[in-house]
């Protein structure tokens, strides 16, 4: 049973090598790389852009995901729900390359989306979607939506149907029921799902690379560039280590928040 | 009235989720070398092209081998881990569980870079072994999660009943626990195999000109060429995944996994 | 059969008062199962009607149709004389007490109770005193700022009731509200709910599978089975003059003895139960000789008497032997076997006499007026 420790530990050992100045054999440890990253304005732009992307994607996933999660959670019959969930899981079982490639087809100038838009008369000519931020957002939302839906679905199922019926019987219309009952009681799932999607979004590499192209530079692409193209391993390592710390902090904070929330909710 | 509206909205969202996958199907049959969603003519030349390109087919074989190896190892390790985690209570149990699950949360590129550095240091870079190790690390959490869920829902009193009727601990495991876990094991096997097959980001850091997996090859191909061969490969991959999933559905049925 | 007892159709002559709630030929199926079968029901202002029946008989579905959570496939629902079939739940003026209370866990008791008032845009200044008054009515003074999870089951139940009545609904709906309480608390709550409902004069529909609840609380009981109301009437009507075999068996204990019609004499028929000939009334109209069916007899209507001496007038007499005796504290249940006949359950209040040992030869009697004959095999 101790065997499975070894592999992940090995990888973590690497982190300690990140402070080398140049190459991996350099024995002098320095923080120069970190300083470089944190002080150069150019990199700030990249970070900001990545965070922006993450937030936009998370928000869209929330808005699109909640209705779907709600109807799935309220579907009667476990066979139907099982089928619906499986349909949701199916994209997760296909490689991110396939999905992103599919989006390049859809978003291209001769792609389906443009064909639909011009066909319906919504735009005069083909809209530039590929190699833009908008396109990246759309594709990332599609890729990450199942995660959000599954998180939300799990928590909505814990909100007893009776509570909604009680609210309705007391005079609350559909919108009120949502605001007063469903949303507050789903917050743990909303938080968990959002954090998950956010982390996955800012760590996304393939989709921004294929859809956004070199124009949308996000942290993962920056790291890849530094590591494989410029071959400045230490610098790439420094960036990714900072990134890792950020992610871990975020996870820790969320876990803490969820735990205290659960205690507040009590047994019920 | 509103029920119809909500059904329609859900259907649209589902369509959105499945759109890129579905679009590769018609695109793969196009007879022109340019990407088009709705092809004018139909042909199978891109499928033929795939099989005719040695880099692609070699990477396919490698991917399959890799997935089989890593999947099996992850399954066995995952079984041990899940058993240990749910049956015994030892200090630090939660911490270890979090530790094992961590590759799911940590962005792939960090893992990839870290492994690249490590394997270079240990002179394992660009080897089949390094890929296997990497894939096991990435797929292990899925195996552990699915198997833990199965174990948790299994009734412990069944084992106790078997023992009270005269079975040894091992016999009870063999005749009671294992058969009941069949569904979980199958689901785990599928998850690990498919995840390994589709893995891109981490693998991207660890591959080289002599050793690439199919997703990596596809990624490189897309960067340089824009013909629909990739669409053809995508369709084949989707078909493969669907076949596996359908087969599993027939044998066990899904219900509520995850 | 008692002239006032009612079968499945409510008697039009006796309830001329305007109905607060009316269901007309309400029909609902789920897939291939018929949950509610062309049901008719009328409730007048201020009365409490219990829907009594086993699980799956359609009583909860009927309640949900009244509440508006289910739409009937056909038929109409009328509330206060106005059509309500298509009205969504939040526009019907109803108050529901759920089986699991359905209290909003993220709101205080006070906010829970105030919820309906807020939805009705009652001014805040008025809400506070009303909430406090209602909480006092259910004996929950001063708990307005607590959370549901801090309260006991019984207290949570009262909050649920308070929440439903504070809005002064036209109709109160109870969905087996007492099932989650322990026996002692259940008895107490029965009385309290009943007096509360009477005091406020709100029409109420009460769903339950517990016949004691129905018998003690309701003005009228509607006994349901397989989507149909088999009988609706007062507790006495339903208990003493059951309209169908199902009602006889479901409400209270009942003996069912296979019998064959020998003849008809006025109100009563002659039946042979084994070698014994008895006289009892008919559940429906008189039937022809030779018809096979069963006689339903309540254990407490049968008396065990001295073998010697005159049997009382207009009574059936039979010889039997005791088989078994179960002690219930205030009464005994004897299992007796008729000579060459079936076994019966007899219930006798505890008195000065010693309990009978098994195997004792006894004579049992019961009046012609007690017991009903139903056609068909049991």
Query: Locate tokens 């505890």: which residue?
Result: C350
In this prediction, residue B28 carries a pLDDT of 76
Contacts of A110 in chain B (CB under 8 A): 34-37
A2 within a domain of the structure (yes/no)? no
B178 within a domain of the structure (yes/no)? yes
Count CB pairs under 8 A between chains A and C: 71
Q: Which residue range is the domain that position B213 belongs to? A: 57-224
Whether B222 and B231 have beta carbons less than 8 Å apart is answered as no
Is A172's Cβ below 8 Å from some Cβ in C?
A: yes
Quote the CA–CA distance of B71 and A243 in Å, as a whole number.
Answer: 29
CATH number belonging to domain C19-249: 3.40.50.300
CA dihedral (C217, C223, C225, C227) in degrees, to 10, reads -90
Candidate from A68, A98, A227 with C-beta closest to B237: A98
B46 within a domain of the structure (yes/no)? no
Candidate from A165, A167, A184 with C-beta closest to C115: A167
Contacts of A160 in chain C (CB under 8 A): 100, 102
Q: CA A102, A108, A114 angle in degrees (round to 5)? A: 105
Q: Which residue of A has its CA nearest to C163?
A: A170
A15 within a domain of the structure (yes/no)? no
Quote the CA–CA distance of B180 and B162 in Å, as a whole number.
Answer: 13
B152 within a domain of the structure (yes/no)? yes
Q: Which residue range is the domain that position A211 belongs to? A: 37-158+172-265
Query: Locate tokens 């829970």: which residue?
Result: C112
Nearest to C45 by CA among C8, C74, C19, C79: C19
| Token code pair at residue A154 | 């799990």
Candidate from C89, C103, C104 with C-beta closest to A169: C89
Report, as ranges of residue numbers, the positions in chain C whose pLDDT lies below 70.
1-18, 377-378
SS3 of C276, please? strand
Q: Which residue of C has its CA nearest to A263?
A: C149
Nearest to B106 by CA among A143, A139, A251: A251
Query: Locate tokens 């992610």: which residue?
Result: A247
Q: How many CB atoms lie within 10 A of CB A222?
A: 22
Is A187's Cβ below 8 Å from some Cβ in C?
A: no
A17 within a domain of the structure (yes/no)? no
The alpha carbon of residue B165 is apart from the nearest alpha carbon of chain A, in Å, by 30
**C276-335: per-residue pLDDT in tens?**
888 887 777 777 788 888 888 899 888 888 777 777 888 888 888 888 888 888 888 888
Range(s) within chain C of domains with CATH label 3.40.50.300: 19-249
| Whole-number average pLDDT of chain B | 78
Whether A152 and A187 have beta carbons less than 8 Å apart is answered as no
Contacts of B249 in chain A (CB under 8 A): 86
In this prediction, residue C307 carries a pLDDT of 73
| CATH code for position B170 | 1.10.3720.10
User: Would the CB atoms of C119 and A162 count as touching at under 8 Å?
Assistant: no
Instruction: Give C231-266 as a DSSP string.
Output: EEE-HHHHHHS-SSHHHHHHSS--EEEEEEEEEEET
Candidate from A86, A220, A240 with C-beta closest to B254: A86
A contact chains, 3+ CB pairs < 8 A? B, C
**How many Å is the maximal CA-CA distance in chain A?**
72
User: Would the CB atoms of A265 and C88 count as touching at under 8 Å?
Assistant: no
Report, as ranges of residue numbers, the positions in chain A whose pLDDT lies below 50.
1-4, 19-28, 267-268
**Domain total for chain A?**
1
Strands C82-83 and C74-79: antiparallel
The alpha carbon of residue A98 is apart from the nearest alpha carbon of chain B, in Å, by 6
User: Would the CB atoms of A98 and B14 count as touching at under 8 Å?
Assistant: no
Whether B178 and B162 have beta carbons less than 8 Å apart is answered as no
A22 within a domain of the structure (yes/no)? no
ipTM: 0.80
Q: pTM of the prediction?
A: 0.79
| Mutation target vs B (from A3, A9, A14; most B CBs, 10 A cutoff) | A14
Strands C220-225 and C19-30: unpaired
In this prediction, residue A18 carries a pLDDT of 53
Quote the CA–CA distance of A247 and A226 in Å, as a whole number.
Answer: 20
The alpha carbon of residue B237 is apart from the nearest alpha carbon of chain A, in Å, by 8
Q: CA A78, A82, A85 angle in degrees (round to 5)? A: 135
CATH number belonging to domain C254-375: 2.40.50.100
Using alpha carbons, list the distances in angstroms from residue C171 to C44, C114, C200, C213: 11, 18, 11, 19
B47 within a domain of the structure (yes/no)? no
User: Would the CB atoms of C90 and A265 count as touching at under 8 Å?
Assistant: no
**B9-38: per-residue pLDDT in tens?**
888 888 888 888 888 887 777 766 666 656
| Mutation target vs B (from A105, A175, A259; most B CBs, 10 A cutoff) | A105
Is A16's Cβ below 8 Å from some Cβ in B?
A: no
Contacts of A88 in chain B (CB under 8 A): 14, 17
| CATH code for position A125 | 1.10.3720.10
Q: For residue A244, is it left (φ>0), alpha (ψ between -120 and 50) or beta?
A: alpha
Q: CA C351, C356, C358 angle in degrees (round to 5)? A: 155
Is A160's Cβ below 8 Å from some Cβ in C?
A: yes
User: Would the CB atoms of A102 and B245 count as touching at under 8 Å?
Assistant: no
A5 within a domain of the structure (yes/no)? no
B97 within a domain of the structure (yes/no)? yes
User: Would the CB atoms of C105 and A167 count as touching at under 8 Å?
Assistant: no
Nearest to A182 by CA among A165, A166, A159, A150: A159
In this prediction, residue C136 carries a pLDDT of 93
B68 within a domain of the structure (yes/no)? yes
Is A14's Cβ below 8 Å from some Cβ in B?
A: yes
Candidate from C106, C167, C173 with C-beta closest to A170: C167
User: Would the CB atoms of A169 and C67 count as touching at under 8 Å?
Assistant: yes
Query: Locate tokens 């400045």: which residue?
Result: A232
Quote the CA–CA distance of C245 and C263 in Å, as a whole number.
Answer: 21
In this prediction, residue C204 carries a pLDDT of 94
**C324-375: per-residue pLDDT in tens?**
888 888 888 888 888 878 888 888 888 888 888 888 888 888 888 888 888 8
A10 within a domain of the structure (yes/no)? no
| Token code pair at residue A9 | 């530990």
Candidate from A1, A13, A86 with C-beta closest to B80: A1
B177 within a domain of the structure (yes/no)? yes
In this prediction, residue A219 carries a pLDDT of 82
Nearest to C320 by CA among C257, C249, C377, C262: C257
The alpha carbon of residue A67 is apart from the nearest alpha carbon of chain C, in Å, by 20
**Domain total for chain B?**
1
Cα C365–chain centre separation: 29
The alpha carbon of residue B203 is apart from the nearest alpha carbon of chain A, in Å, by 12
Range(s) within chain C of domains with CATH label 2.40.50.100: 254-375
């Amino acid at each position: 049973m101790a065997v499975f420790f070894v592999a992940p530990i090995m990888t973590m050992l690497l982190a300690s090598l990140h402070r080398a100045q140049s190459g991996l054999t350099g024995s002098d440890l320095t923080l120069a790389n970190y300083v470089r990253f944190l002080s150069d304005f150019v990199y700030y732009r990249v970070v900001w852009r990545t965070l922006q992307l993450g937030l936009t994607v998370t928000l869209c996933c929330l808005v699109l995901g909640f209705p779907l999660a709600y109807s799935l959670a309220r579907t009667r019959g476990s066979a139907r729900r099982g089928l619906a969930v499986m349909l949701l899981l199916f994209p997760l079982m296909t490689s991110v390359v396939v999905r992103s490639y599919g989006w390049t087809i859809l978003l291209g100038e001769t792609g389906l989306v443009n064909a639909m838009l011009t066909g319906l008369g919504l735009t005069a000519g083909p809209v530039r979607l590929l190699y833009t931020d908008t396109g990246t957002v759309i594709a990332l939302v599609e890729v990450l939506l199942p995660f959000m839906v599954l998180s939300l679905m799990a928590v909505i199922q814990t909100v007893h149907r009776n509570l909604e019926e009680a609210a309705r019987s007391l005079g609350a219309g559909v919108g009120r029921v949502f605001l007063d009952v469903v949303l507050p009681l789903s917050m743990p799932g909303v938080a968990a799902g959002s954090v998950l999607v956010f982390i996955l979004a800012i760590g996304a590499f393939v989709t921004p690379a294929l859809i956004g192209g070199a124009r949308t530079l996000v942290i993962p692409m920056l790291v890849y560039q530094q590591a494989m193209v410029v071959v400045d391993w230490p610098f790439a390592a420094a960036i990714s280590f900072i990134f890792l710390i950020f992610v871990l902090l975020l996870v820790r904070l969320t876990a803490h928040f969820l735990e205290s929330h659960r205690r507040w909710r009590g047994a019920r | 009235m509103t029920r119809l509206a909500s059904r329609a909205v859900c259907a649209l969202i589902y369509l959105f989720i499945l759109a890129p996958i579905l679009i590769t199907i018609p695109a793969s049959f196009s007879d022109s070398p340019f990407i088009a969603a709705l092809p004018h003519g139909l042909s199978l030349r891109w499928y033929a092209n795939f099989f005719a390109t040695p880099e692609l087919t070699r990477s396919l074989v490698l991917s399959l081998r890799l997935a089989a190896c890593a999947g099996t190892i992850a399954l066995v390790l995952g079984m041990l881990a899940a058993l240990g985690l749910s049956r015994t209570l030892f200090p630090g149990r939660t911490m270890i569980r979090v530790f094992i699950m961590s590759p799911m949360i940590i962005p792939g590129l960090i893992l990839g870079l870290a492994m690249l550095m490590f394997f270079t240091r240990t002179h394992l870079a660009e080897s089949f072994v390094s890929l296997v190790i990497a894939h096991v690390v990435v797929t292990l959490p899925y195996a552990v999660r699915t198997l833990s869920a199965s174990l948790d829902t299994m009734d412990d009193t069944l084992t106790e009943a078997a023992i009270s009727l005269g079975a040894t601990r091992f016999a009870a495991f063999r005749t009671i626990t294992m058969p009941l876990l069949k569904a979980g094991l199958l689901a785990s096997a599928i998850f690990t195999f498919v995840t390994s097959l589709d893995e891109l980001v981490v693998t991207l850091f660890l591959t080289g000109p002599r050793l690439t997996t199919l997703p990596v090859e596809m990624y490189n191909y897309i960067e340089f060429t824009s013909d629909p061969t990739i669409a053809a490969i995508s369709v084949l991959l989707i078909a493969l995944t669907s076949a596996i999933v359908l087969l599993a559905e027939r044998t066990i049925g899904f219900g509520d996994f995850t | 059969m008692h002239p006032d007892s009612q079968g499945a159709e409510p008697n039009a002559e006796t309830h001329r008062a305007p109905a607060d709630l009316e269901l007309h030929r309400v029909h609902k199926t789920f897939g291939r199962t018929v949950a509610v079968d062309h049901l008719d029901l009328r409730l007048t202002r201020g009365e409490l009607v219990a829907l009594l029946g086993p699980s799956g008989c359609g009583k909860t579905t009927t309640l949900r149709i009244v509440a508006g959570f289910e739409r009937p496939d056909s038929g109409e629902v009328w509330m206060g004389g106005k059509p309500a079939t298509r009205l969504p739940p939040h526009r019907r003026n109803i108050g529901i007490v759920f089986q699991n209370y359905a209290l909003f866990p993220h709101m205080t008791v006070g906010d829970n109770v105030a919820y309906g008032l807020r939805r009705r845009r009652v001014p805040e200044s008025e809400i506070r005193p009303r909430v406090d008054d209602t909480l006092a009515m259910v004996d929950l003074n001063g708990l307005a700022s607590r959370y549901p999870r801090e309260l006991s089951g019984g207290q949570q139940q009262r909050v649920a009731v308070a929440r439903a009545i504070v809005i002064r609904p036209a109709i109160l709906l109870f969905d087996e509200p007492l099932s989650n309480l322990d026996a002692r608390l259940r008895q107490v709550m029965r009385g309290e709910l009943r007096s509360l409902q009477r005091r406020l004069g709100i029409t109420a529909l009460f769903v339950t599978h517990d016949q004691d609840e129905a018998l003690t609380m309701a003005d009228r009981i509607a006994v349901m089975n397989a989507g149909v109301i088999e009988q609706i009437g007062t507790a006495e009507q339903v208990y003493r003059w059951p309209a169908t075999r199902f009602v006889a068996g479901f409400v209270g204990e009942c003996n069912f003895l296979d019998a064959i019609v020998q003849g008809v004499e006025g109100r009563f028929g002659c039946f042979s139960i084994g070698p014994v000939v008895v006289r009892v009334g008919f559940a429906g109209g008189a039937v022809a000789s030779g018809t096979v069916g069963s006689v339903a007899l309540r254990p407490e209507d049968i008396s065990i008497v001295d073998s010697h001496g005159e049997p009382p007038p207009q009574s059936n007499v039979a010889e039997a032997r005791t088989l078994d005796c179960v002690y219930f504290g205030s009464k005994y249940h004897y299992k007796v076997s008729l000579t060459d006949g079936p076994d019966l359950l007899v219930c006798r209040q505890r008195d000065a006499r010693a309990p009978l040992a098994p195997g004792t030869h006894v004579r049992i009697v019961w009046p012609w007026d007690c017991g009903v004959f139903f056609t068909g095999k049991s």
